[in-house]
């Protein structure tokens, strides 16, 4: 796996695919700068070598239309502040004007190109557009894990124009290394904690990881499909009735492979889907009609904690309750605390996938686990065992 450490960028122009798809408020202030901060080490390494950096990214979904509210010009000042070097901006990303701006770039300078998705050719993976981008650098660096599952011009197709002169940035390398640790090289016992509302959205992940884990903890809304399939009463809890047979098959397959599956035994049930609902503890398989399970109960959390603390490698994907509501956030916080403790004791812990990442950030566990993935969809596809086009293009 080639990374930027395999190159000296002195007097070279690095064309870097970053993921600056950041949230903006009504005044175009960036409300979460994590993605820009994550790209900084790669950019700094190139500048310190004596090279210059040409940054390309998308922002939002303009679908080939030039839109001021999605222009990357809104990011230049904040990016300058974070990187510690003035980030120049140009309102083009291909063509003569862009090529001239890159040619004028001196060692130690950074240029940010305009939103790639102002050109519909980007998402189509257009060859001519990719070739146009390739003229803007001597070495291609992909550091955008969040878009690695898309076969777009800037993430995949452009790489073929660089021959051997292509590599992963530090962020991409760390993402690949973390997933490999969980899926292939992790010290045993390996535990996967899967939450979220639907079995259907996690089925390919479950099928792919059963060969790789020793323990599978299932929480969140998909619990109730498993419980109902086993004959339990789940009241008004969320359930995919058409996935009950699938749930039973997963349990059988896990047993055949020697994987211990841990389901909740008790829950916090509520009489309404509301933070102010009346709540009570209930066995997971005896939830009364009119009530629904919205968080893991204390006995469940104690059981889960024991499993987590004996684990050496941990994957967490999905919350175990409706953590967005304070009343039902305790289970997800408790899982985070258990993972924090296991990590302190030497376990490797990877958190990935939208909601679990949001929960980790919300409750302050970000620096207390080994790694928090930056790519939602890309992370999930990796866990499903798919080869991501953005990764394959560099390894090719």
Least confident of 46-60, 142-156, 196-210: 196-210
According to DSSP, the residues that pair with 283 across neighbouring strands are: 266
Is 235 in the same domain as 341?
yes
What lies within 8 Å, CB to CB, of 348 at 6+ separation is 181, 182, 186, 187, 312, 313, 314, 370
Which tokens is 225 given?
Answer: 């499909």
The answer to whether 143 is a known ligand-binding residue is: no
The answer to whether residue 200 sits within a structural domain is: yes
Residues 227 and 343 in one domain: yes
Of 112, 140, 171, which residue constitutes the final position of a domain?
A: 171
The reply to whether 367 sits in an annotated binding site is: no
364 assigned binding-site residue: no
Same domain for 257 and 366, yes or no, is yes
Identified catalytic residue from 13, 17, 35, 228? 35
Q: Is residue 122 part of a domain?
A: yes
Give yes or no for residue 255 having a pLDDT over 80.
yes
Q: Domain count of the chain?
A: 2
Task: Choose, from 67, 354, 385, 386, the residue flagged as catalytic.
Answer: 354
Nearest to 192 by CA among 204, 175, 210: 210
Active site annotation includes 354? yes
Is 324 annotated for ligand binding?
yes
Q: Quickly state the pLDDT bin for 237 (edges 50, 70, 90).
A: very high
Catalytic residue among 73, 312, 361, 377: 377
299 or 1, greater pLDDT: 299
Tell me the C-alpha distance between 224 and 194, whole Å.
13
In a domain, residue 222? The reply is: yes
The pLDDT score that the predictor gives to residue 378 is 87
- What is the rounded average pLDDT of the residues 174-189? 93
Tell which of 118, 146, 171 closes a domain. 171
- Residue 355's pLDDT band, with cuts at 50, 70 and 90, is confident
117 assigned binding-site residue = yes
Q: Please indicate, yes or no, whether residues 161 and 190 belong to a single structural domain of this protein.
A: no
- Percent of the chain's residues with pLDDT above 70: 100
336 assigned ligand-binding residue: no
Residue 40 lies in a domain: yes
Q: What percent of the chain has pLDDT over 90?
A: 89
- Least confident range from 135-144, 336-345, 375-384: namely 375-384
Examine the domain organization and report whether 117 and 214 are in the same domain. Answer: no
Catalytic residue among 67, 92, 198, 233: 198
Asked whether residue 305 is marked as a ligand-binding residue, the answer is: no
Task: Assess whether 248 and 310 both reside in one domain.
Answer: yes
Average of per-residue pLDDT across 333-339:
98
Q: Let me know whether 357 and 274 are in one domain.
A: yes
Examine the residue annotation and report whether 67 is marked as an active-site residue of this protein: no
The rounded distance, in Å, linking the Cα atoms of 256 and 97 is: 62
User: Do residues 294 and 182 touch, judged by C-beta distance below 8 A?
Assistant: no
Mean pLDDT of the chain: 95
pTM of the model: 0.90
Q: Is 180 a domain residue? A: no
Q: Give the residue from 120, 138, 171 where a domain finishes.
A: 171
Max mean pLDDT range (173-182, 193-202, 295-304, 368-377) = 295-304
Domain shared by 137 and 210, yes or no: no
Residue 386 known to be catalytic: no
Is pLDDT at 334 greater than 70 in this prediction?
A: yes
Whole-number pLDDT of residue 344: 98
Q: Is residue 181 part of a domain?
A: no
Residues 39 and 88 in one domain: yes
Q: Does residue 255 form part of some domain?
A: yes
Q: 375: domain range? A: 186-383
119 labelled as ligand-binding? no
State whether 193 and 324 are in the same domain: yes
59 is in an annotated binding site: yes
Q: Using 50, 70 and 90 to split pLDDT, how confident is the model at 353?
A: confident
Q: Is 355 annotated as a binding residue?
A: yes
Which class for 160: exposed (0-12), middle (13-18), buried (19 or more C-beta within 10 A)?
Answer: middle
Determine which helix (DSSP H) or strand (DSSP E) holds 359, and give its type and residue range.
helix 354-362
Does residue 354 carry a pLDDT above 70?
no
Q: Has 40 been annotated as catalytic?
A: no
Q: Based on the domain organization, do 161 and 202 belong to the same domain?
A: no
Residue 258's CATH number: 3.40.50.1260
297 and 341 both lie in a single domain? yes
353 annotated to bind ligand: yes
376 lies in some domain:
yes
| pLDDT tens, residue by residue, 79-132 | 999 999 999 999 999 999 999 999 999 999 999 999 999 999 999 999 999 999
Residue 321: pLDDT over 80: yes
């Amino acid at each position: 796996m080639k990374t930027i450490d395999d190159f000296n960028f002195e007097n070279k122009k690095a064309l870097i695919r970053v993921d600056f798809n950041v949230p903006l408020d009504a005044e175009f202030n960036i409300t979460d700068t994590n993605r820009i901060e994550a790209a900084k080490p790669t950019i700094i390494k190139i500048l310190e070598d004596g090279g210059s950096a040409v940054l390309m990214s998308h922002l939002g979904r303009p679908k080939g239309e030039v839109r001021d509210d999605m222009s990357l010009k809104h990011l230049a000042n904040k990016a300058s502040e974070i990187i510690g070097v003035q980030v120049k901006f140009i309102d083009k990303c291909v063509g003569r004007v862009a090529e001239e701006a890159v040619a004028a770039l001196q060692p130690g300078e950074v240029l940010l190109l305009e939103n790639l998705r102002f050109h519909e050719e980007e998402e189509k993976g257009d060859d001519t557009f990719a070739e146009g981008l390739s003229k803007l650098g001597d070495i291609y660096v992909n550091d955008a894990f969040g878009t690695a599952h898309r076969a777009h011009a800037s993430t995949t197709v452009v790489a073929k124009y660089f021959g051997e002169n292509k590599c992963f940035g530090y962020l991409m390398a760390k993402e690949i290394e973390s997933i490999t640790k969980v899926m292939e090289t992790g010290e045993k016992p390996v535990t996967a904690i899967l939450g979220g509302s639907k079995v259907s959205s996690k089925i390919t992940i479950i099928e792919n990881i059963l060969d790789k884990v020793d323990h599978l903890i299932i929480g969140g809304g998909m619990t109730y499909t498993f419980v109902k399939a086993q004959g339990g009463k789940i009241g008004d809890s969320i359930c995919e009735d058409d996935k009950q047979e699938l749930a039973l098959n997963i349990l059988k397959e896990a047993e055949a492979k020697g994987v211990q599956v841990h389901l909740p035994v008790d829950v916090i049930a509520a009489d309404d889907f509301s933070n102010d609902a009346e709540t009570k503890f209930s066995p997971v398989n005896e939830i009364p009609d009119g009530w629904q399970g919205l968080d893991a109960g204390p006995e469940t959390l104690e059981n889960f904690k024991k499993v987590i603390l004996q684990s050496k490698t941990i994957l967490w994907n999905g919350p175990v309750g409706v953590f967005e509501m304070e009343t039902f956030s305790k289970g997800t916080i408790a899982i985070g605390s258990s993972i924090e403790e296991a990590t302190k004791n030497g376990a490797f812990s990877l958190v990935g996938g939208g909601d679990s990442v949001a929960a980790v950030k919300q409750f302050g566990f970000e620096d207390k686990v080994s790694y928090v993935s930056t790519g939602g969809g890309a992370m999930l596809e990796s866990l499903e065992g798919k080869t991501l086009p953005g990764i394959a293009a560099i390894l090719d």
